[in-house]
């Protein structure tokens, strides 16, 4: 039988500090109503002083392993998707691996908000190639460290958090069925951070051309989700749930419309944590599983787009 990468555990972690929309009105020309109407976001979480991306990744990864009932020593690889690593090196994945007690190899993936989808594709390839049987995939971010709090067009959108899944090699019909990954660097100036090591060492701040990003997001997200389903031999009618990148409720609704998918079949959690970049899809998976919507045997498609531009989707049977 065909060996596939099957999700056997899901974990999530959010920092303790909750930041409601009203917090921004103390220093910006904005309001709770303005933010909710344009984004659907009600609150987000910010990491505490000294709380690192790896701290969030470790907590989410540990939760996924507990959920799967798997000893960390039995995990072959750790992949962490993040745009906000603790350090230039070592990787956040290495620090996560060490803290969890995983004996296999580990590495980071940087594909901005699409990082988790790219990491899922990597893990699927490792399992199909026989290089690993159990891969812990984590999306973890501390975007509060790179926000310009004088720019109301960006700083109200993002939050910190982490989510993780454990993928295991299993025979049968469950598992990852189709993956589609894309990038186009000609759009790099639409969404980026204006700093970095070779630009002088400063971490920089997030910059975004919001209208242009929105325009590309809806079309590219629908396109990549359709492509992943086609790779899997499925169409839109086969999908039980769409679990999208949680960037903005308007983007989520626009993409669902293009996919001819009713919002009743879309899991939305952006109201609770804002855009957590690579962490947003696994956080939504964890929420959907916790409240009973996501169940074994269902067909799920996840899609995301981020700075680069990079975009992709993965279709799987739970």
Do residues 187 and 308 make contact, with C-beta atoms less than 8 angstroms apart?
yes
Backbone angles phi, psi at 160, to 5 degrees: -110, 150
**13 is known as an active-site residue:** no
**Cα–Cα distance, 209 to 216 (Å, whole number):** 11
What whole-number distance in Å separates Cα of residue 227 and Cα of residue 219? Answer: 12
Tokens coding 172: 């049968």
- Rounded-to-integer distance, Cα 68 and Cα 102, Å: 15
13, 21, 45, 113: the catalytic one is 113
Do 266 and 144 contact (CB within 8 A), yes or no? no
- Tell me how far apart the alpha carbons of residues 236 and 225 are, in angstroms, rounded to a whole number: 9
The catalytic residue among 21, 122, 248, 275 is: 275
Q: Which of 21, 245, 273, 302 is catalytic?
A: 245
Give the count of beta carbons closer than 10 Å to the beta carbon of residue 278.
Answer: 35
Our answer to whether residue 302 is catalytic in this structure is no
In contact, 276 and 160? CB cutoff 8 Å: yes
Distance CA 228, CA 214 (A): 21
- The pairs formed by 192-201 with CB atoms below 8 angstroms and a separation of 24 or more are 192/307, 193/83, 193/146, 193/307, 197/88
**Other beta carbons within 10 Å of 240:** 15
Q: Active site includes 113?
A: yes
- Among residues 213, 230, 270, 267, which one has the least CA distance to residue 247? 270
Side by side, the strands of the sheet bearing 134-142 are: 3-13, 160-171, 134-142, 77-81, 105-109
Task: Give catalytic residue positions.
Answer: 113, 245, 275
């Amino acid at each position: 039988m065909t060996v596939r990468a099957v999700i056997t555990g899901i974990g999530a972690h959010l920092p303790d500090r909750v930041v409601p929309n009203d917090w921004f009105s103390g220093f910006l020309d904005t309001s709770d109503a303005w933010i909710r109407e344009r984004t659907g976001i009600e609150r987000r979480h910010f990491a505490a002083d000294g709380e690192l991306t790896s701290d969030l990744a470790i907590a989410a990864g540990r939760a996924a392993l507990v959920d799967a009932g798997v000893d960390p020593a039995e995990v072959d690889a750790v992949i962490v998707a993040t745009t906000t690593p603790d350090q230039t090196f070592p990787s956040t994945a290495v620090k996560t691996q060490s803290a969890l007690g995983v004996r296999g190899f580990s590495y980071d993936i940087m594909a901005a908000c699409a990082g988790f989808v790219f990491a899922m594709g990597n893990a699927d390839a490792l399992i199909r190639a026989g290089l690993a049987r159990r891969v812990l995939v984590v999306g973890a971010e501390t975007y509060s460290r790179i926000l310009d709090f004088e720019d109301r067009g960006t700083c109200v959108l993002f939050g910190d958090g982490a989510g993780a899944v454990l993928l295991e090699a299993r025979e049968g019909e469950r598992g990852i069925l189709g993956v589609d990954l894309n990038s186009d660097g000609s759009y790099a100036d639409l969404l980026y951070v204006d700093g970095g090591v070779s630009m002088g060492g400063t971490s920089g701040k997030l910059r975004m051309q919001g209208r242009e990003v929105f325009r590309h997001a809806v079309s590219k997200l629908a396109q990549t989700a359709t492509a992943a389903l086609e790779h899997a031999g499925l169409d839109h009618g086969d999908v039980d749930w769409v679990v999208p990148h949680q960037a903005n409720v308007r983007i989520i609704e626009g993409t669902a419309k293009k996919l001819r998918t009713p919002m009743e079949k879309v899991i939305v959690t952006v109201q609770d944590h804002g855009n957590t970049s690579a962490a947003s899809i696994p956080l939504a998976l964890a929420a959907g599983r916790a409240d009973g919507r996501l169940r074994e045997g269902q067909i799920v498609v996840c899609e995301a787009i981020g700075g680069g531009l990079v975009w992709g989707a993965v279709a799987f049977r739970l």
